[in-house]
Amino acid sequence: MTIHLGEIAPDFEQETTFGPIRFHDWLGDSWGILFSHPKDFTPVCTTELGAVAKLAPEWAKRNTKVIGLSVDPVGSHSEWESDIARSQGASVNFPIIADADGTVAALYDMIHPSADPKVTVRTVFIIDPSKKVRLTLTYPPSAGRNFDEVLRVLDSLQLTDAHKVTTPANWTNGDEVIIAPSVGDEQARSLFPAGWKTVLPYLRLVPQPR
């Protein structure tokens, strides 16, 4: 199946390095980031798991749980975690799904036969507290993922959900934001009493709401 933005993320039960989980129950009322790997003991993914572990305080500030996935079994994951801690300077502090039977890879459309019929592709999913998929990013095996970008989009999504704004190109936390097109000027005057800067009739900039 193909996962589209706005759809409910498929639920599943699977073994992880933290024990068996039911995905939706594990997420609870948190945001979630699910990111997949082709297999254990791969060099690019080793650096990625270390990078995600180092960002633990940032995920916590955003009420976000992270979880990895690889097709190898739990025992292999545990051995890989030792390599990650030794080489990346950070212990893996989140669960890694053992998707040996390919259940989750199939549910989330992570097998792309034209690329490689045997391994999961390297996809990132951001899932909101209502279990809706809000972002998908698929990377080639050779390019390490930029988790600063994942954080940036997570911040944008959370800001959009809390306020009637969207974020412009290359936005980073603290920059000006755009009043959502669905908000007319009358409503905007109520929401943003300090006013806004009109660049175009449909492009109205305001300081980022706190």
CATH 3.30.1020.10 for domain 163-206, yes or no, is: yes
Convert 171-205 to b/e letters by CB count within 10 Å (16 or more is b). beeeeebbbeeebeeeebeeebeeebeeeeeeebe
- Length of the chain equals 210
Which CATH architecture group holds 13-145? 3-Layer(aba) Sandwich (3.40)
The three-class DSSP label of residue 100 is coil
- What's the pLDDT score for residue 101? 86
Catalytic residue set: 45
- What's the pLDDT score for residue 111? 73
- What's the pLDDT score for residue 159? 97
Tens digit of each residue's pLDDT (9 = 90 or more) over 47-102: 999 999 999 999 999 999 999 999 889 999 999 999 999 999 999 999 999 998 88
Q: pTM for the complete prediction? A: 0.92
- What's the pLDDT score for residue 206? 98
Q: What letter would DSSP give residue 38?
A: S
Calculated CA dihedral for residues 56, 60, 65, 69, nearest 10 degrees: -10
* Beta bridge partners of residue 31, listed in sequence order: 64
Ranges of the chain whose pLDDT falls below 50 = 117
**Residue 32 φ/ψ, nearest 5 degrees:** -140, 150
What is 119-184 written as a DSSP string?
SB-EEEEEE-TTSBEEEEEEE-TTS---HHHHHHHHHHHHHHHHSSEE--TT--TTS-EEE-TTS-
Closest CA to 27 of 66, 62, 59: 66
- What's the pLDDT score for residue 112? 66
**Residue 102 φ/ψ, nearest 5 degrees:** 75, 10
CB atoms under 10 Å from CB of 167, counted, come to 20
Structural domain spans, the chain: 13-145, 163-206
Closest CA to 177 of 186, 192, 190, 148: 192
- What's the pLDDT score for residue 114? 60
- What's the pLDDT score for residue 35? 94
